[in-house]
Amino acid sequence: MMACFEASATPEAARNMTIEVGLFAFERDFSGSLRCIPMIVRFKLDRVGVKLTLRQWSQLGRAERERLVLQACDAPDEAAAYRASLIADLFARTDQQPDVFEPDPAPAWSCREAVAESVATWCAGLGLAPPQAARWAQLSALQRFTLTKLSRPGHDNENFIAAMTEFGLMGQAFE
């Protein structure tokens, strides 16, 4: 059945399916079109030390935004290539350099042993149980990053509950 679907998919549909693989379900409504910066790209931007505004993101072409979703950025050489190509693409489109910063060597989301303080605080403010330590440790780095990013004070964090639900963290008992 899947082979039939893949064989009949248009190139555009196949590309969109590939892009959606890098997106969380809670962000597909607004990031599927790549008008907004998806969490996977925000994660990579933090890793490589680049601050990209929504305006700068929107000035990149669709193919460049897709590449930023899909391009590997785990190993040091991949991260360096990601940063270099992003900066070159942005400069070619806008004649601007993005803001750069030194990445945090130990961000709160990187600790598997303890739930990030911002996540626990945000949960408490919403009257929710924070993720149990064992469940937090099982989350991927991207999932922990996402919850940490969505729990920052002073930001519109409307997708926090949707992310918690998607990651299977709603309805847990307090530890």
What are the structure tokens assigned to 81, written together?
């290539």
Q: What is the pLDDT along the chain (175 residues), one digit of tens a residue?
A: 222 223 333 334 333 434 456 788 888 766 567 888 999 999 999 999 999 999 999 999 989 999 999 999 999 999 999 999 999 999 999 998 999 999 999 999 999 999 999 999 999 999 999 999 999 999 999 999 999 999 998 777 789 999 999 999 986 544 4
**Nearest CA-CA partner of 148 in 134, 161, 135, 160:** 160
Q: Which whole-number Å values give the CA distances from 151 to 109, 119, 122, in the listed order? A: 11, 5, 6
pTM, two decimal places: 0.83
